[in-house]
Amino acid sequence: MMSRKFTVLFVTIMSSLGIAACSSGTTTRHLVSVGDEVRIAVGAPATQPNWAALSFADASWANKATAFFENVDGAMPADVTVRRVFDIGADYAKFRTLSLSFDPGAAYDVFLNGQNVGSSDGKSALAINAPAGLLHASGNVLGLAIHAVTAGQVHIAPTLDGEADLTAPPTAAGVVRGPWLIAPATDGVTIVWETDQPVASTAVVDGKSYDGGSGTHHAAQVTGLLPSHAYPYQVEVAGVATEGAELTTAPADTSARVRFVVYGDNRTDGDAHRRVVDAMRNEGADFLINTGDMVASSNDAEWQTFFDIEYSLLARTPMYPSLGNHEENSGGGGRFAELFPLGKADVFKGRVYSFDYGSIHVAVLDSNAWLGDEAKWLDDDLTRADENGARHLFVVMHWGAFSGRKYLQHGSNTDAQKYIAPIARKHKVDALLAGHDHFYERGNSKGLRYFITGGGGAPLADPGKIDETDVTRKIFHFLTVDVVGGVAHVVAKDESGVAFDNVDLTHDW
């Protein structure tokens, strides 16, 4: 069988990933890398209306990680069609210059968001200038239609970088980070975002404005909404609005089914982080829990990368994070509390807090501090939750009580075993949720279930084993937790969203 080299995509549009200095006044970020997933079809899809638009239903197309060979068989030539959905972020309008390097060995067309932006005979690079208004903050579609491919193989290995003009005027209303959602309630939510300069800014929810302050960091507390309702919203600066998104309030019915996602340790590998986020977006979570170490160092550039990657997820799904050692050790504890104003400043500096959602109560601790003090707070907090009728209790911290890894300042946290585990057992919590060690581990310590989910993008580590360990995997991953009918069903999924472990957490103490 004939082999045909198929090298896809080098396009300079803004990405959601790592940042690199370019010529003066520009910056380059990765968008698509080898290993990212694309949708692919062989046959007629290129002739179907709107196949390159976001609204096109591509569920029947093959979903594959790039760097594979696609077989094209048959006597008649066939089209090979590729789709990749990507996000940009708040300053998407700074990215306009496109340079596509693509050698399929056949003629092809290039589409952005359903619009044909160029064609090539496959023998030379294609320069593209994206028209104003074509790109979006999220949900962009890059489509490639390769025509008349004869029997053989095509190699699909896309890479996509973006170059931004930093000298361009502020775009997206001056918003450079976010918006992201936190603290969902039955009657509202908190919307957070940041601008490139101090300026008055508001959040507009279903036509009503909420003040976000006039600095560079903005937070608007939205109230007066109905439970279990979805509302359109956007952020406005000087009358200019960001792209619209949608928020959903928490249910008032404590018997309602709730789904949340748990992940963490996202630092270092932006491509893996993005793949995990892409998979999580398909889960329809009511909220997210991040187990910490979102960044390797708490500086502006790394937080920018984090929020760029998570833009389309956090704009629609509220997140509750715990403080990791990488945020704390780089002096970013205060920045953490500012970015995620969930706790009270006079209670462990705002780094320890709890929340309710439906029948669920979650307590979030700071494993960087002495846990003896936090144990008393946790006991009081879980006592109140029990009195208020919470049916499911979870405790979250970055460095958890149990882990099979044998490494300095990793593995089991003996302070958490001494101070936190007894309180968790006393209140019969469903599970301890932690990260810190970069793998998946599920275990049980005298009836106390625990999970380590540190596979969000940090370098993977080799898991060990302790007496409490039930399952381990060295894998990028996340957890989904479905709570309904008195049972919490936990499923561990890899970066493609494929399940590899599951367990029901029942009250069997």
CA distances, 498 to each of 81, 271, 280, 322, 450 (Å): 24, 18, 11, 26, 21
> What are 249-275's pLDDT values in tens digits?
999 998 899 999 999 999 888 778 888
pLDDT of the chain, 509 residues: tens digit per residue? 333 333 333 333 333 334 444 545 666 666 666 666 778 887 766 556 688 887 787 778 887 766 566 667 665 567 788 888 777 766 677 777 767 666 666 778 888 888 888 887 766 667 777 777 787 776 778 888 877 666 676 666 666 666 766 665 544 448 888 999 999 999 999 999 999 889 999 999 999 999 999 999 999 999 999 999 999 999 999 888 888 899 999 999 988 999 999 999 998 887 788 889 989 998 999 999 999 999 988 888 888 889 988 998 999 999 999 999 998 876 667 888 999 999 999 999 999 999 999 999 999 999 999 999 999 999 999 999 999 999 999 999 999 999 998 887 888 999 999 999 999 999 999 999 999 999 999 999 999 999 999 999 999 999 999 999 999 999 999 999 999 988 999 999 999 899 999 999 986 54
Rg of the chain taking only CA atoms, in angstroms: 24
Q: With contact defined as beta carbons under 8 Å apart, do 472 and 500 qualify?
A: no
Question: Which candidate, 78, 33, 76, 82, places its Cα nearest to that of 61?
Answer: 82
Residue-level pLDDT at 32:
66
What is the distance between the alpha carbons of residues 50 and 52, in angstroms, rounded to a whole number? 5
Q: With contact defined as beta carbons under 8 Å apart, do 317 and 246 qualify?
A: no
% of the chain residues with pLDDT over 70: 80
Q: How many CA atoms lie within 13 A of 410 on its CB side?
A: 17
> What are 79-128's pLDDT values in tens digits?
788 888 777 766 677 777 767 666 666 778 888 888 888 887 766 667 77
Question: Which candidate, 494, 430, 477, 448, places its Cα nearest to that of 258?
Answer: 430
Residue-level pLDDT at 425:
96
Q: Quick count: other Cβ atoms within 10 Å of Cβ 181?
A: 24
Strand 37-43 versus strand 78-86 pairing type: antiparallel
Same fold, 3-165 and 172-248: no
3-class SS of residue 299 = coil
What is the distance between the alpha carbons of residues 320 and 340, in angstroms, rounded to a whole number? 8
3-class SS of residue 142 = strand
Q: Which two tokens stand for residue 257?
A: 């089914």
Q: With contact defined as beta carbons under 8 Å apart, do 197 and 237 qualify?
A: no
What is the distance between the alpha carbons of residues 122 and 110, in angstroms, rounded to a whole number? 11
Q: Which two tokens stand for residue 80?
A: 């090979």
CATH-assigned architecture of domain 3-165: Sandwich (2.60)
Q: How many CA atoms lie within 13 A of 216 on its CB side?
A: 5
**What residues have CB less than 8 Å from 59, skipping those under 6 apart?**
none
Residue-level pLDDT at 468:
94
Class of domain 258-505 as given by CATH: alpha beta
What is the distance between the alpha carbons of residues 189 and 183, in angstroms, rounded to a whole number? 6
SS3 track for 168-232: CCCCHHHEEEEEEEEEEECCEEEEEEEECCCCCEEEEECCEEEECCCCCEEEEEECCCCCCCEEE
Q: Which two tokens stand for residue 462?
A: 């080799």
Residue extents of the structural domains in the chain: 3-165, 172-248, 258-505
Task: State which fold the 172-248 domain adopts.
Answer: Immunoglobulin-like (2.60.40)
What is the distance between the alpha carbons of residues 26 and 129, in angstroms, rounded to a whole number? 16
SS3 track for 395-415: EECCCCCCCCCCCCCCCCCHH
Report residue 350 CA to chain centroid gap.
23
